[in-house]
């Protein structure tokens, strides 16, 4: 199931300095009223993308290690016979 989130970023200006971004999520409560929820200063969508990229890198490294172990076994067997 794919859940759609309405996330937006907000910037504030204090004493001429730009502060932010601050991420907020819009949602509806049980009465149907639209409310906002603070999510933090890190983009929540970017965090999920980084998790996916790390998972792909971990799989690649695991496959590479398995390949190297198999290659070393073949090399040892070749030199024994």
| pLDDT band at residue 1 using 50, 70 and 90 as cut-offs | very low
Exposure string for 39-60, b = 16+ CB within 10 A, e = fewer: beeeeeeeeeeeeeeeeeeeee
Q: pLDDT tens across 23-34, in order?
A: 998 888 899 899
pTM of the model as a whole: 0.50
Tens of pLDDT along 59-76?
777 788 888 888 777 766
Q: DSSP letters along the chain, please?
A: -PPP-EEEEEEEEETTEEEEEEEEEEEE-TTS-EEEEEEESS-HHHHHHHHHHHHHHHHHHHHHHHHHHHHHHHHHHHHH-
């Amino acid at each position: 199931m794919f859940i759609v989130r309405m996330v937006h970023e907000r910037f504030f200006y204090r004493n001429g300095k730009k502060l932010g971004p601050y991420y907020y999520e819009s949602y509806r409560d049980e009465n149907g009223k639209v409310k906002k929820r603070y999510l933090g200063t890190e983009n929540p969508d970017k965090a999920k993308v980084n998790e996916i990229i790390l998972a792909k890198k971990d799989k690649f490294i695991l496959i590479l290690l398995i390949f190297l172990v198999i290659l070393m076994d073949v090399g040892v067997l070749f030199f024994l016979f």
